[in-house]
Amino acid sequence: MTNHWNDLQHTDCALIIGANPAENHPVSFRWLLKARENGGKILSVDPRFTRTSSQADIYAPLRSGSDISFIGGMINYAIENNLFHKEYVAKYTNASFIVKEGFDFKDGLFSGYDEATRAYDKASWSFETTEDGKPEKDETLQHPRSVFQLMKKHYSRYDVDTVTTVTGTPKEEYMKVAETFCSTGKPGRAGTILYAMGTTQHTVGTQNVRSYAMLQLLLGNIGMPGGGVNALRGESNVQGSTDFGLLFGDLPGYLGAPKELPEHATLAAYLEKETPKTGYWSNKPKFVVSLLKAWYGPNATKENEFCYQYIPKGNKNYSHIALFNAMYKGELQGAFLFGTNPVVGGPNAGKEKEALSNLDWLVAIDLWETETASFWQKEAGSDPSKINTEVFLLPAASSYEKEGTVSNSGRWMQYRWKAIEPKGEAKADMEIIHMLMRRLKGMYKNEGSPAAKAMNALYWNYGEHDHPEFDLVAREINGYYTQTGKQVENFGMLADDGSTCSGNWIYSGFYPEEGNLSKRRDNKDTGMGNFLNWSYAWPMNRRVLYNRASADPSGKPWNKDKAVIWWDAAAKKWTGNDVPDFKAIVAPSDPGGTNPFIMTKDGVGGMFAPTLNDGPFPEHYEPFESPVPNAFSSQEFNPTIKVWDGDFNLKGTKKQFPIVATTYRVSEHWQSGSMTRNQQWLSELAGHMYIEMSEELAKEKGIKNKDKVIVTSARGEVKAYAMVTKRFKPHTINGKIVHQIGMPWHFGYKGYATGDTANRLTPHIGDANTMIPEYKAFLCNVRRAD
Amino acid sequence: MVEINLNRRQFLKLSGATAATLAVVELGFNENEVQAKTKEFKIAKATVTPTICPYCAVGCGILVHTKNNDVVYTEGDPDHPINEGSLCSKGTTIRQLFTSEKRVMKPRYRAPGSNKWEEKDWGWMLDTIAKRVKETRDKTFVEKSNGVFVNKTEAIASLGGAALDNEETYLLAKMMRGLGVTYLEHQARI
Amino acid sequence: MAKAEYVKFVDVTKCDGCRACMVACKNWNDLPAEPEAFQGSVQSHANVTANTWNVLSFIEHENGKGNLEYLFRHSSCFHCSEAACVKVCPEDAMHYTEFGTVDVNADKCVGCGYCVQNCPFDVVQLATYKDKNGKEYKKAQKCTMCVDRLEEGMQPACVTTCHTDAMEFGTKEEMLKKAEKRLGEIKERFPNAMIYNPEGVGGTHTVYVLAEKPSVYGLPEKPKVPTSAVVWKDYAQPIGKMMLGATSMALVGAFVSNKLFNKEGKDHEEDGGGSHE
């Protein structure tokens, strides 16, 4: 989230698209309803009328997989009707930048596309620069090659009629959404976009989010209280585990992991290649070296490149889909599962289950016996005698049986005290990791192989017994001065000479000498509901990101009722209700004084994004499996996605599978259900796997409510109850009826509440940038079970 | 343990009521019997510990009431600025994370080809896992490739972590990178 | 010292259907789960039961304008001011508390089931238990309004957990004022909205603002204490009890209940929630 949960109360309009917060983030509605009490509007855009829709002022249906069309139409509407925030767009975004000649867009393809590699040469997607390397601008936004004019042209194709024939949204409802949300383009008004996996789990997931960001920049909604682009994250610490680099491509703090490339062969080369000359990321070497000092301690010296060479360097995509593909092919030998259950949660889960039997060993650390830990059992449909995988199931402590912090969607790092000893023989994950590492280090201690050298260099100093000292870990994350051992005050103090360490620079500041700030419990509102003395928010305890943009170029808030920070001319600094997400002493008239987006190279918001794999502007493509042709171009699906071969990625035809399907969650269960299906009360609330469908489709198929039905896709089938509902309506797409069904993906065969696993149906195909699987739009068919 | 202000959002102002001797029916949880007896107020003398909800990333505050090494009640933390004492159905029931009979109580091992779990002690499990990791790693470790030090093994994967604490994710990332693991993945994508 | 009357005010238009109220109740009152068959909707239980004291009902309703409304209602004991269950209880197990709410004294309850038969809202149910010798016996069970919490100055568990403040607890006067105010705010969106605090049972201590007519929620439009219940309590029961003793009374009572008590103001409403699939 650019903003945070309490801040939702300040919104004039919340556009909820690709999310169902009333069911999946219920307490968000505490603040959304407060916004409504103050006159704010709530808009719900969803294929299905949900519990969120029940609380919305306007509900607009759309077909799964048509978000870019929906939002593209709103961008067009805002431009055509002059509803955008002109000064904000001209000053705070790259809309005024001039794109080089040679940039082009034709029939769904941007310039530079190579069909053989399914990739773009992005050279033509760049800006004209002045002699000193700064981008050429036209703040009148009139230059024909300005980003603004190119964007205007691109989205002029997204007129209301075309858009609604693609999305299936009734025109009247579409217009209501467009009018209501675009009214926040008026300076001083704020609209927020709330999204979740309904947005990201598409082959165009990244561009879906991009389209929201563009619309929000256009309307001047980023940096504003009650504004922003807000990802409602689904796990208590998925924010933290992302921040801490539990994804192959990033080291902690979003420091790109070095790759097996000549440009990354040395630390100096890597830093040279990956450090921008301008913007806050120009400090990257300080963060990288401080991380290396945290990981390799005294072993990391200037002479040995701070042990940079021991960081593993990959040469491919190692994300979830690729990982299971490799496992299926027998390329992996062992795997660890830390509280994760891919046999229920993974795409094409039936095949992912099969893949597991190719492992020699599997270690599952969990509170429960999950479907994944027991994939070899007869109940899983396996023949145990034919599976040679050794499985180790280690009982883990629950969240309140240990101490530690988690980071919520609003980036608040909150401490959890230990309430009780772990149940049975369960142990905290930290303890398990530590005990394993102590054993491994012991085994390698006297060896000199390359594998041993890398291991021996790693600094693991959390106490000389099996119980690690939590406080030492916390201190290392914040970072300290390697000479004195004193905590660094914050990441502004980090250095690239080895004099500081910090395990995650973006968190640096949570644990200064005075103590661990994540434990703070002062709940006095310090202004605008930002609660600056409650816990700690990264970075630097800032609560609303890009908050410099809540003030006009001169430093005055666009709206005094929505004031976050402002320039105090007498004191010569930025002040207000939040920690400035800006250098506090840079005056509006100083160089860079009107550049609110400090993390970008040019200090402005990117309407034009020349770094993404699938184009600088979001463009509508149909999902990998779609019942209709693409109305915008002859490119059927995203031309830059990797199409995996083999029987792991079977594709269904619209003839065989004419119905659009999507998956989702319910309030009462969580993710793959292992946490909630193993509890009686929650299992009682939502005890059955079901398929939601419209009355019209049910009639067509001769299905009655509560019947058992079978849903099939090219990957598999599931049996479940039919939930025939008025809340699903068939879409009219280009004059034709297209049916859509939906189902929860929480179920499996373990626990109190059991049912078939929806992900046996979902495809093994991912987004062009993130490789997030396309769970949210695929093709299926449905019939009565008997 | 922090000091907790136990004021609820809106205290009722009732005069002098005590319930220590109130006769109420105690339903034995998971037991099909009822005993009428004098019962202490449910959360009297319980230890109260603040935590943050383990489910979605709203980050609501929850109070855990413990007594006699059991969790007797869980409820919203009235002092928490986000949820102000309220919760959703999942947050309300985190008590059963502890009380559920489905919790794995001891380490379990499944041998190749076997159709059952065997309970093992922690020491054996950790020693055996460490051995497997080392064997696989030593067999597949690549120090240099195309003239670049890569120090990696592509034969071990690590998945998950979105439910771990920050400090745990930090150590996990450090351990896995330290081992040279490149297949490093958690639930952000799924 | 006189105590004020307290009311749980349920504003169904603020509810987003999370069902925390259902599990907060189980959690506070240590009630076991009793999973039911698939209901054909998101709803978990057809009705409240002896171990599930409140149920969130889910209703898909197309309003007069043809627009779809997804309506939720936290349903539990109404805590009537003139409660049929109290009226008919032969053992005075059902009683009014000092807060104006209705509670069961389990020590006194003999499980006769008159209360079950006479509740105009179908709220009271019998739970079956086994004694030490394995012999089964029954007790009436229903929402207590968390009277043990009230005694300690705390609100009912369901109210405390409600994140949209769809439920509030306070003095009757204050809550009714709130209900009136809220009704004014929502009339535009829900022209049929009303306050449900039926007079036929002397008013209730669970007061609703409903978005639609009571029948849409399967509620009786005008519930009242059955006349026969009044007769039973005041005349038949004292005599019968003298003659038969409590246990046989229960059997006779059940028979009499089934045969004689017409649950007025209820039967014709059974199909009221017809739009609910």
The answer to whether the CB atoms of B10 and C128 lie below 8 A apart is: no
pLDDT per position as a tens digit, A106-153: 999 999 999 999 999 999 999 999 999 899 999 999 999 999 999 999
Strand partners, B142: B152
Report the residue of B9, B14, B33 to disrupt the C interface, i.e. the one with the largest count of C CBs within 10 Å.
Answer: B14
Rounded to the nearest 10 degrees, how much is the dihedral formed by the CA atoms of A334, A336, A342, A347? -60
Distance of alpha carbon A680 from alpha carbon A676, whole angstroms: 8
Query: C140: which residues sit within 8 A by CB, 6+ positions away?
Result: C50, C85, C93, C94, C104, C109, C111, C113, C115, C116, C124, C125, C126, C127
Q: What is the arithmetic mean of pLDDT over B89-108?
A: 98
Nearest residue in A to C56, CA atom: A685
pLDDT at B38 over 80: no
Residue B76 lies in a domain: yes
pLDDT per position as a tens digit, C55-78: 999 999 998 888 999 999 999 999
Does A697 lie in the same domain as A713?
Answer: yes
pLDDT at A639 over 80: yes
Does A370 lie in the same domain as A279?
Answer: no
Q: What is the arithmetic mean of pLDDT over A492-519?
A: 98
pLDDT above 90: percentage of residues in chain C: 74
Per-residue confidence at C233, pLDDT binned at 50, 70, 90?
low
At A316 the three-state DSSP class reads coil
Q: How many CA atoms lie within 13 A of C28 on its CB side?
A: 26
Distance of alpha carbon A558 from alpha carbon A543, whole angstroms: 18
The answer to whether the CB atoms of C70 and A49 lie below 8 A apart is: yes
Q: Shortest CA distance to A168 belongs to which of A245, A318, A60?
A: A60
pLDDT above 90: percentage of residues in chain A: 99
pLDDT above 70: percentage of residues in chain C: 81
Q: Which of C16, C22, C68 sits opposite A22 (nearest CB)?
A: C16
Distance of alpha carbon A432 from alpha carbon A454, whole angstroms: 21
Cβ atoms of A112 and A122 within 8 Å: the answer is yes
Residue C117 lies in a domain: yes
Q: What is the arithmetic mean of pLDDT over B26-38?
A: 31
pLDDT above 70: percentage of residues in chain A: 100
Query: C71: which residues sit within 8 A by CB, 6+ positions away?
Result: A54, C12, C58, C59, C60, C61, C211, C212, C216, C217
Q: Which range of residues forms the domain containing residue C139? A: 84-143+225-260
Cβ atoms of C48 and C76 within 8 Å: the answer is yes
Q: What is the arithmetic mean of pLDDT over B30-48?
A: 62
Residue A631 lies in a domain: no
Q: What is the arithmetic mean of pLDDT over C34-38?
A: 97
pLDDT at C275 over 70: no
What is the pLDDT, as a whole number, of residue B152? 98
CB contacts, 8 Å: B34 with chain C: 106, 127, 129, 139
pLDDT per position as a tens digit, C99-124: 999 999 999 999 999 999 999 999 99
Cβ atoms of C83 and C105 within 8 Å: the answer is no
Min Cα separation A139/chain C (Å):
45
Does A731 lie in the same domain as A697?
Answer: yes
Cβ atoms of C171 and C4 within 8 Å: the answer is yes
Q: Where do we find the tokens 């992302």?
A: A242
Rounded to the nearest 10 degrees, how much is the dihedral formed by the CA atoms of C246, C249, C254, C258? -150
Q: Shortest CA distance to A596 belongs to which of A286, A284, A220?
A: A220
pLDDT per position as a tens digit, C139-152: 999 999 999 999 99
Per-residue confidence at C232, pLDDT binned at 50, 70, 90?
low
SS (H, E, C) chain C: CCCCCEEEEEEHHHCCCCCHHHHHHHHHHCCCCCCCCCCCCCCCCCCCCCCCCCEEEEEEEECCCCCEEEEEEEECCCCECCCHHHHHCCCCCEEECCCCCEEECCCCCCCCCHHHHHCCCCCCEEEEEECCCCCEEEEEECCCCCHHHHHCCCCCHHHHHCCCCCEEEEEHHHHHHHHHHHHHHHCCCCCCCEEECCHHHCCECEEEEECCCHHHHCCCCCCCCCHHHHHHHHHHHHHHHHHHCHHHHHHHHHHHHHHHCCCCCCHHHCCCCCCCC
Does A167 lie in the same domain as A146?
Answer: yes
Q: What is the arithmetic mean of pLDDT over B136-143?
A: 98
State which amino acid sits at residue B103. Answer: R
Does A730 lie in the same domain as A665?
Answer: yes
Report the predicted TM-score, pTM, of the whole model to 2 decimal places.
Answer: 0.94
Q: Shortest CA distance to A764 belongs to which of A637, A663, A625, A561?
A: A625
Q: Which of A26, A686, A727 sits opposite C68 (nearest CB)?
A: A727
pLDDT per position as a tens digit, A247-285: 999 999 999 999 999 999 999 999 999 999 999 999 999
Residues of A near C (Cβ–Cβ under 8 Å) read 22-23, 26-27, 29-30, 33, 49-55, 666-668, 680-688, 690, 705-706, 721, 723-727, 752-753
CB contacts, 8 Å: C19 with chain B: 89
A191-195 and A13-17 beta bridge pairing: parallel
CB contacts, 8 Å: A465 with chain B: none
For chain B, report the end-to-end CA distance as a whole number of angstroms: 36
Residue C103 lies in a domain: yes
Does A347 lie in the same domain as A218?
Answer: no
B118-119 and A717-725 beta bridge pairing: unpaired
The answer to whether the CB atoms of B57 and A237 lie below 8 A apart is: yes
Domain count across chain A: 5
H or E stretch at B12: none
What is the pLDDT, as a whole number, of residue B35? 35
pLDDT per position as a tens digit, A166-177: 999 999 999 999
Distance of alpha carbon A50 from alpha carbon A26, whole angstroms: 12
Distance of alpha carbon A549 from alpha carbon A281, whole angstroms: 19
What is the pLDDT, as a whole number, of residue B23? 23
DSSP calls for A107-167: TTEETTEETTTTEE-GGGS-B-B-TTSPBPB-TTS--TTBHHHHHHHHHHT--HHHHHHHH
* Longest CA pairwise span in chain B (Å): 81
DSSP calls for A236-295: TTHHHHHHTT-BTTEETTTEEPPBSSGGGSSHHHHHHHH--SSSGGGGHHHHHHHHHHHH
Q: What is the arithmetic mean of pLDDT over C232-261?
A: 47
Distance of alpha carbon C80 from alpha carbon C149, whole angstroms: 20
Report the residue of B110, B169, B172 to disrupt the A interface, i.e. the one with the largest count of A CBs within 10 Å.
Answer: B169
Least confident interval from A72-81, A643-652, C43-52, C268-277: C268-277
Does A145 lie in the same domain as A204?
Answer: yes
Distance of alpha carbon B94 from alpha carbon B76, whole angstroms: 11
ipTM here: 0.97
Residue C55: phi and psi, rounded to 5, are -130, 135
Cβ atoms of C114 and C88 within 8 Å: the answer is yes
What is the pLDDT, as a whole number, of residue A516? 98
Residue C56 lies in a domain: no
Per-residue confidence at A697, pLDDT binned at 50, 70, 90?
very high
Q: What is the arithmetic mean of pLDDT over A737-754?
A: 98
pLDDT at C255 over 80: no
Residue B164 lies in a domain: yes
Report in angstroms the alpha-carbon separations of A247 from A243, A651, B181: 9, 28, 11
pLDDT at B178 over 70: yes
CB contacts, 8 Å: A417 with chain B: 1-2, 49-51
Does A709 lie in the same domain as A733?
Answer: yes
Cβ atoms of A774 and A765 within 8 Å: the answer is yes
Residue C102 lies in a domain: yes
What is the pLDDT, as a whole number, of residue C271? 38
CB contacts, 8 Å: C32 with chain A: 680
Residue B176: phi and psi, rounded to 5, are -65, -45
Report the residue of C132, C151, C165 to disrupt the B interface, i.e. the one with the largest count of B CBs within 10 Å.
Answer: C151
Q: Which range of residues forms the domain containing residue A338? A: 320-405+421-444
Does A221 lie in the same domain as A123?
Answer: yes
Q: Shortest CA distance to A741 belongs to which of A784, A689, A698, A688?
A: A698
CB contacts, 8 Å: B86 with chain C: 20, 160-163, 165
pLDDT at B4 over 70: no
Question: What rounded mean pLDDT belongs to chain B?
Answer: 84
What is the pLDDT, as a whole number, of residue A546? 97
Residue C37 lies in a domain: no
Q: What is the arithmetic mean of pLDDT over C125-149?
A: 93
Q: What are the structure tokens assigned to A744, written together?
A: 């929860």
Q: Find chains touching chain C: ≥3 CB pairs under 8 Å.
A: A, B
What is the pLDDT, as a whole number, of residue C51? 96
Domain count across chain B: 3
Residue B10 lies in a domain: no
At A713 the three-state DSSP class reads coil
pLDDT at C94 over 50: yes
Question: What rounded mean pLDDT belongs to chain C?
Answer: 86
Residue C255 lies in a domain: yes
Residue A49 lies in a domain: yes
Residue A640 lies in a domain: no
CB contacts, 8 Å: A399 with chain B: 51-52, 54, 94, 97, 163, 165
State which amino acid sits at residue A547. Answer: N
pLDDT at C273 over 50: no
Q: What is the arithmetic mean of pLDDT over B27-56?
A: 68
pLDDT per position as a tens digit, C170-211: 999 999 999 999 999 999 999 999 999 999 999 999 999 999
pLDDT at C153 over 60: yes
Q: What are the structure tokens assigned to A416, written together?
A: 């959890």
Residue C68 lies in a domain: no
The answer to whether the CB atoms of A55 and C163 lie below 8 A apart is: no
Residue B28 lies in a domain: no
What is the pLDDT, as a whole number, of residue A325? 97
CB contacts, 8 Å: B30 with chain C: 32
Q: What is the arithmetic mean of pLDDT over C222-246?
A: 62
Distance of alpha carbon C77 from alpha carbon C234, whole angstroms: 24
A412-416 and B142-145 beta bridge pairing: unpaired
Q: Where do we find the tokens 């082009």?
A: A104
B102 CB within 8 Å of a chain C CB? no
pLDDT per position as a tens digit, A189-233: 999 999 999 999 999 999 999 999 999 999 999 999 999 999 999
Report in angstroms the alpha-carbon separations of B62 from A239, A355, B77, B85: 19, 39, 5, 8
What is the pLDDT, as a whole number, of residue C64? 84
Does A282 lie in the same domain as A331?
Answer: no
Q: What is the arithmetic mean of pLDDT over A291-308?
A: 98
Least confident interval from A472-486, A749-763, B84-98, C56-70: C56-70
For chain A, report the end-to-end CA distance as a whole number of angstroms: 47
Using omega within 30 degrees of 0 as the cis cutoff, is the peptide bond preceding A539 cis? yes
Q: Shortest CA distance to A642 belongs to which of A726, A768, A539?
A: A768
Per-residue confidence at C131, pLDDT binned at 50, 70, 90?
confident
Residue C250 lies in a domain: yes
Distance of alpha carbon C40 from alpha carbon C26, whole angstroms: 23
Which domain CATH number covers C105? 3.30.70.20
Residues 55-94 of B with CB under 8 A from C: 73-76, 83, 85-89, 91-93
Q: Shortest CA distance to A612 belongs to which of A638, A649, A644, A630?
A: A638
Q: What is the arithmetic mean of pLDDT over A361-382?
A: 98
Does A171 lie in the same domain as A98?
Answer: yes
What is the pLDDT, as a whole number, of residue A675? 98
pLDDT at C270 over 70: no
Q: Which range of residues forms the domain containing residue B124? A: 105-138
Q: What is the arithmetic mean of pLDDT over A82-97?
A: 98
Question: What rounded mean pLDDT belongs to chain A?
Answer: 97
Q: Shortest CA distance to A734 belongs to which of A166, A73, A293?
A: A166
Q: Which of C20, C40, C71 sits opposite A723 (nearest CB)?
A: C40
Which domain CATH number covers A737? 2.40.40.20
Min Cα separation B4/chain C (Å):
16
Residue A703 lies in a domain: yes
Cβ atoms of A196 and A24 within 8 Å: the answer is yes
pLDDT per position as a tens digit, A54-64: 999 999 999 99
What is the pLDDT, as a whole number, of residue C265? 37
Rounded to the nearest 10 degrees, how much is the dihedral formed by the CA atoms of C145, C151, C157, C162? 90
Min Cα separation C190/chain B (Å):
26
Which domain CATH number covers A222? 3.40.228.10
CB contacts, 8 Å: B8 with chain C: 154-155, 160
What is the pLDDT, as a whole number, of residue A328? 97
Residue B123 lies in a domain: yes
Does A195 lie in the same domain as A86?
Answer: yes
Domain count across chain C: 1
Q: Where do we find the tokens 């703070």?
A: A520
Nearest residue in C to B96, CA atom: C27
Nearest residue in C to A52, CA atom: C16
pLDDT per position as a tens digit, A590-625: 999 999 999 999 999 999 999 999 999 999 999 999
What is the pLDDT, as a whole number, of residue C238? 52
Q: Find chains touching chain B: ≥3 CB pairs under 8 Å.
A: A, C
Strand partners, A736: A733
